[in-house]
Amino acid sequence: MKILVTGGAGFIGSALVRHAIAAGHGVVNLDALTYAACLDNVASVAGSPLYAFVQADIRDRAALDAAFAAHQPDAVMHLAAESHVDRSIDGPGDFIETNITGTYNMLEAARAYWIGQGKPQGFRFHHISTDEVYGSLPADPSVKFTEDTPYDPRSPYSASKASSDHLVRAWHETYGLPVVLSNCSNNYGPYHFPEKLIPVIILNALAGKALPIYGDGSNVRDWLYVEDHAEALLTVLQKGRLGRSYNIGGENERSNLELVQTLCGILDALRPKPAGSYTDQITFVTDRPGHDARYAIDPSRIRQELGWRPSVTVEEGLTRTVQWYLDNEAWWRPLQARAGVGERLGVKA
């Protein structure tokens, strides 16, 4: 199968590109190469005859039509997005344009191409989204997000992703476009851009800097290893039922404070400080405005219908991740010089 992957130079998209090529699929990686992109993420597969790269912006409909015409994909996996909640608070415009208008352009370009091909039965448009569209959960551990949980997005980022999900469902209902959707919890792992929580904690710890925890650190997230997410995405693409959504989670709920303490413990073991523990660097900072209290995924549907479940525990995945950052300074060091990285963003709501 030849898959047009949007956002394949980003964190999750690049993991998907590497997995898809390892599984023998052709991949056309379409990416605008924004501040969040890094082509080194796909360097290991860039020489493969199965791989092609198109630099294009999903806000540019003509460029999308040209990419479909040139590469004739069997499926689309749409990940390109502005993805950082803190940046969405400071500058929501890019999120509206890329996540909403860009998804609209992708749907229209895919629909025109699909019609032009004679509406092939096997064509798929897989829209990749987030659990943040569901809003915030109470502390009660028995309450989790299912695919029927009403949407209640609370940040510009999650509202823009929710809007894009609605458009994708509408294109299925109205035009019959063969779509599947997935909504995933927080990812972590290799090639995670150094403005997100886990890389920030690892790299600040190594630099002897403060480890910033928003508010009191009680906000709970479910964490999924990115390689497991890539595997889940290929499963949803190939086995998911048309028009259906699948929640994807790691079954690993942690408060932000617990997560940072776990990372400090791993760093203490792998790269001990001359004295003391990395936990000594933990610092509580002003909370994010509208910070959702808890996200948790009920993964029953993907587990029962598609037979997928995560392969690594959060302890194993975090250990692999810390080791990867210790071994790959040449990857992350240059990215720290990009605009906004290392600065506190999203506090001036």
Ligand X SMILES: NC(=O)c1ccc[n+]([C@@H]2O[C@H](COP(=O)([O-])OP(=O)(O)OC[C@H]3O[C@@H](n4cnc5c(N)ncnc54)[C@H](O)[C@@H]3O)[C@@H](O)[C@H]2O)c1
- Give me the catalytic one of 57, 82, 86, 131: 131
Among 126, 161, 288, 294, binds ligand X (CB under 6 A): 161
Tokens 């086995």 map to which residue? 239
Q: d(Cα 30, Cα 53) in Å, to the nearest integer?
A: 6
217: closest CA among 244, 161, 257?
257
Binding mask 175-214 for ligand X (x = CB under 6 A): ---------x-xx-----x---------------------
Amino acid residing at 252: N
For 248, the 3-state DSSP assignment is strand
Tell me, by CB under 6 A, how many residues bind ligand X. Answer: 31
Q: Which two tokens stand for residue 58?
A: 């999903």
Residue 214 backbone phi and psi in degrees, to 5: -70, 135
Q: Which two tokens stand for residue 330?
A: 């040449």
Q: How far is the CB of 39 from ligand X (least distance, A)?
A: 9
Among 39, 48, 53, 59, binds ligand X (CB under 6 A): 59
Active site residue 222: no
Answer yes or no whether residue 128 interacts with ligand X by CB under 6 A: yes
Helical pair 256-270 and 314-327, crossing angle rounded to 10 deg: 50
Tokens 């910033």 map to which residue? 212
Q: Which two tokens stand for residue 210?
A: 């403060």
Answer yes or no whether residue 220 interacts with ligand X by CB under 6 A: no
Active site residue 131: yes
Among 3, 4, 5, 10, binds ligand X (CB under 6 A): 10
- Residue, CB closest to ligand X: 10
Q: d(Cα 194, Cα 332) in Å, to the nearest integer?
A: 7
Answer yes or no whether residue 37 interacts with ligand X by CB under 6 A: yes
- Residues designated catalytic: 131-132, 157
Footprint on this chain of ligand X (rule: CB under 6 A): 6-7, 9-13, 31-34, 36-37, 57-59, 79-83, 98, 102, 128-130, 161, 184, 186-187, 193
